[in-house]
Amino acid sequence: MALFSFSGKPAAASKDDQTSRLLQNFLGGYSIEVTPRTAEKVASFRDILPEGTRVYIAHIDGTPIEDMVRTARRLADEGFPVMPHFPARIIKNHAELAGWIARYQGEAGVTQALLLGGGRTTTVGEFEDSLKLIETGLFDGFGHLHVAGHPEGNRDIDPDGSDKMVMQALNWKQAFSRRTDARVAITTQFCFEAVPVIAWANRLADEGIDLPIHIGVAGPARLQTLMKYALSCGVGPSMKVLQRRAKDVTKLLLPYEPTELLSELAEYKEQHPAFGIEQVHFFPLGGIETNANWVTENGGAAGRPAN
């Protein structure tokens, strides 16, 4: 008599399988950041990015607007929604801002913008921060307006190390989001540790700020590269993650990958569905293609390229 065997009964999903599933869900709809210079190195974005991936274009001080618009047009022609940066402190005046917007809209069909103060302590013109940009009214009609978030603080805005001014600004932007048709969200600086990110996002919720959060994450890169960018960008306490790695000779020469950080955030999101992080935004510090390939390998359908 044949015996029923239960050896083929599907086993409960392993912890690794569950983590992989959560990570794939968390990576859905991710965005990525380029500059005109880094974009030139990519032969085809459709070969490496999923359909509809939002691509931010960072406006580094000194970059000609012609290069920015050309990059926006190229990405739009490849079918990707484009979100150029508008760093307030490098814009001279109202006329220059209006000119930039007209060129982005007229030549590349741009309807999205990331508004931020910019990585400098002084202004070259009449705009000190993103609030001043919004108050011009020139962004009326945009579909998406994102503003900067700083889970570990920003000493350019709060030199005393507090977050008093940052929180005041976010409250103003929260109020603005309720009177505009644009979808307003917070896109953050990159960091390396989940605990402070979770605490910061929950603090915003406690303060009544419910703008969706697009969490900034550094893509795979060499440790030395990450530490250089982290220092120049003012990354705070989560730098200790990199410092610990630098002391571990078994990991020192291996590239950093954001798997642990994203898996912890994904697991927290699974346990707390109302958690404010909506999407992941990658800073491809180790290269755009390296970053995109990592998502393809770890993101399931969320990382499948358009072509």
Contact yes or no for 86/59 (Cβ under 8 A): yes
3-state secondary structure of 289: helix
- Domain annotation covers residue 92: yes
- Closest among 11, 21, 71 to 45, alpha carbons compared: 71
| Contacting residues for 108 by C-beta, under 8 A, at least 6 apart | 69, 72, 73, 75, 76, 82
The residue assigned the tokens 């969320």 is 302
Residue 188: left (phi > 0), alpha (psi -120 to 50), or beta?
Answer: beta
CATH code, domain carrying 283:
3.20.20.220
pLDDT digits 0-9 by tens, 54-98: 999 999 999 999 999 999 999 999 999 999 999 999 999 999 999
Q: Does 5 have pLDDT greater than 50?
A: no
- Domain annotation covers residue 4: no
Backbone φ and ψ of 42, nearest 5°: -100, 120
Contact yes or no for 169/135 (Cβ under 8 A): no
CA distances from 130 to 7, 114, 123, 176 (A): 61, 9, 12, 12
By residue range, what is the domain housing residue 132? 28-303
What pLDDT score was predicted for residue 12?
53
- Closest among 109, 66, 116 to 281, alpha carbons compared: 116
- Domain annotation covers residue 88: yes
Chain centre to alpha carbon of residue 248: 28
- Domain annotation covers residue 221: yes
What pLDDT score was predicted for residue 249?
59
**Which residues are registered as beta bridge partners of 81?**
none
What pLDDT score was predicted for residue 211?
97
Task: In whole angstroms, give the CA distance from residue 171 to residue 77.
Answer: 36
The whole-chain average pLDDT of the chain stands at 89
What pLDDT score was predicted for residue 242?
72
Q: What is the mean pLDDT of residues 146-171?
A: 80
Contact yes or no for 200/151 (Cβ under 8 A): yes
Task: In whole angstroms, give the CA distance from residue 286 to residue 256.
Answer: 9
3-state secondary structure of 158: coil
- Domain annotation covers residue 6: no
pLDDT band, very low/low/confident/very high, at 237 (cuts 50, 70, 90): low
What pLDDT score was predicted for residue 292?
97
- Closest among 233, 257, 234 to 245, alpha carbons compared: 257
pLDDT digits 0-9 by tens, 36-56: 999 999 999 999 999 999 999
- Domain annotation covers residue 135: yes
Q: Which helix (H) or strand (E) holds 199?
A: helix 194-206
User: Whole-prediction pTM value?
Assistant: 0.89
Task: In whole angstroms, give the CA distance from residue 179 to residue 48.
Answer: 37
Instruction: Count how many Cα atoms sit within 13 Å of the Cα of residue 70 in the half-sphere of its side chain.
Output: 10
Q: What is the mean pLDDT of residues 20-44?
A: 96
Number of domains forming the structure of the chain: 1
pLDDT band, very low/low/confident/very high, at 2 (cuts 50, 70, 90): very low
Task: In whole angstroms, give the CA distance from residue 154 to residue 306.
Answer: 36
Q: What is the mean pLDDT of residues 133-142?
A: 96
Q: What is the mean pLDDT of residues 269-290?
A: 96
CA distances from 289 to 23, 45, 107, 294, 296 (A): 20, 9, 26, 8, 10
- Domain annotation covers residue 176: yes
Contact yes or no for 91/128 (Cβ under 8 A): no
Task: Determine the residue type at 157.
Answer: I
